[in-house]
Amino acid sequence: MQNHAGREAAGGGNMDNNGNSGAAKFAAVMDARMKEHIPSDLKIDFAEITAGNGLKCNTFPEIIPAADYMVCRQLALGNTGDRLAEVKTTEDSGFAFVPEKMRKIKPGDHVVVTWVQDTAVVIDIVMRADGI
């Protein structure tokens, strides 16, 4: 096994990047190739749910109708107080209900949105930290 000086003397190349110039070159090639295949316009945005459940994004000028955007499934659990699941134990049974912080989206909600190609996807409801 040669030491670093031996490799340098044998024409092993520049030893910057912690002695691993091959890995640095490989990383640069992979980075360039990824940029060729991944759209650079992927965005995360804030939006508001409008009357009629439209979506008004901060960076998109038109209101997107409810039929033209997607939501993550946890935003469709139901309204506050709706039955979420039946709960059974050996002693008792009852229901778990949708709490306010887990309810489905409604007009006036502020949400975080990501764009997947040309489709807006509502990820979750966002709120001021002092409202938690």
Read off the pLDDT of each residue in 4-12 and give the average, rounded to a whole number: 46
Please provide the average confidence, as pLDDT, over all residues in the chain.
77
**Domain 44-131 architecture:** Beta Barrel (2.40)
Q: Report domain extents, the chain.
A: 4-37, 44-131
Tokens of 77: 């659990």
Check residue 40 and give its pLDDT. Answer: 58
Ranges assigned E (strand) in the chain: 44-49, 55-57, 70-71, 83-88, 93-97, 110-116, 119-126
Read off the pLDDT of each residue in 45-68 and give the average, rounded to a whole number: 93
